[in-house]
Amino acid sequence: MAKITPADVESTEAYDPLTCTHTALRVASRQLTQLYDDALAASGLTSGQALLVARIDELGGAPSGTGPSLQALAKRLSIQISALTHALRPLVRDGLVEVVVDANDRRVKRAVLTEQGLKQTRQMYVLWQELNERIDAVLGEGTTEQLRGLANLVAAPGFAQKVLARPE
């Protein structure tokens, strides 16, 4: 059966610059996510999974390490613990991450990369760096630092309170 394309598809532009900060950032985020997903596919990780394994690695979660507690990992990622455990499931299922009980406090769970997880994380870092360099080249010198700086400003603790504060 042939796929039907509505008549208005041809006349609709794929991109329309907007003055709404939220919408502009969401559209840009989707574009960047797709670029990173495509670039990192050879590592077997999505961009979201890449962020997760990179943070586990950064916080001492190499195979011989203790690994971050799930609470510390969720805090670093600025997500709820339920979202973190949901995101970890495919990585655990695929043998890239282990969730282990803390040796000193059985109530605490920690995330640790497996040997395979560390191997894929190292492969991902190479692909990630290559894409970052291509993005830097397209945006121009200094622009990516400005972009990250603004994004970090918006993501920083306290930004929302400042925005929502009532003018005096």
- pLDDT in the model for residue 57: 96
Comparing 139 with 14, the larger pLDDT belongs to: 139
pTM: 0.82
Q: For residue 92, what are the contacts with CB-CB under 8 A and spacing of at least 6?
A: 98, 99
Winning range, highest mean pLDDT, from 17-21, 52-56, 58-62, 105-109: 52-56
The span from the CA of 109 to the CA of 93, in Å, is 17
Q: Taking residues 32-39, what's their average pLDDT? A: 97
Is pLDDT of 70 > 80?
yes
Report whether 88 contacts 97 (CB < 8 A): yes
> Helices 21-40 and 47-58: crossing angle, nearest 10°?
80
- Two structure tokens written together for 20: 């709404």
